Amino acid sequence: MTMPDPTNGIDGNGVDYAPRPIWPDARLMWTGGAATALVAALIVLVGVLFTRGVLGIPVLAPERAGVFGDSTTITYAVSAAAAAFLATALLHLLLIAVPSPFSFFGCIAALGTLGAVIGPLTRDALLDSKITAAVINLAVGVAVISLLSGVAHSALQRAGSRRPPGSHADGRGRW
């Protein structure tokens, strides 16, 4: 049996035992962020379609605008996608720069979601429309927080180790 070599972090059997820092894989973070942005935009579109078409609540536009409303619906969906990309950037920065990044992300994103829920309630509109917009914003916030947290956990890897796309974290089919 050979003794470990403390100068290079490799034991006598050629196994690397030296701890390495953990970094997020930027490709996985941003592709996951893009998928999250798509989900956020779709939540808005489906939420508006449901509330206007099924419930008959004129959220974002007058009833005469139809089941999808007007151009404000597209602006709303694009804003939700932009918020998801902003949350991805925030989480990526937190993963690189601060201790306990998931705790900070959870607090910041929850407060942002709370602001997005309260915002529609302060506007001058029908109560049904305000509540509906607040619920859609809550659904977007919960989806973004949960999806990006999962994306970030999947994107974390030890510095210097490269996983092939789609492989499992431990290489044996387990996460």
E strand or H helix at 57, and its extent? none
Is the pLDDT at 175 greater than 90, yes or no?
A: no
41, 78 Cβ separation under 8 angstroms: yes
The sign of the dihedral angle between the CA atoms of 166, 171, 174, 175 is: negative
Tokens of 92: 């990526």
pLDDT for the residue numbered 2: 54
Which is higher by pLDDT, 82 or 175? 82
Please give the share of the chain, as a percent, with pLDDT higher than 90.
59
pTM: 0.77
pLDDT band at 12 (very low <50, low <70, confident <90, very high): low
- Cα 56 versus chain centre, distance: 30
DSSP letter at 168 equals -
- Whether residue 10 contacts residue 17, with contact meaning beta carbons closer than 8 Å, is answered with yes
Minimal CA–CA distance to 60: which of 150, 7, 126?
126
**What are the sequence ranges of the domains in the chain?**
24-157
Query: What pLDDT score was predicted for residue 160?
Result: 53
What pLDDT shows up at residue 71?
A: 76
Interacting residues of 15 by C-beta distance below 8 A, sequence separation 6+: none
Query: For the segment 87-138, what is each residue's pLDDT rounded down to a tens digit?
Result: 999 999 999 999 899 999 999 999 999 999 999 999 988 899 999 999 999 9
Q: In terms of Cα–Cα distance, which of 38, 39, 65, 41 is closest to 52?
A: 65
SS3 21: coil
> Angle formed by the axes of helices 71-97 and 127-155, to 10°?
40
* Location of structure tokens 């099924």: 54
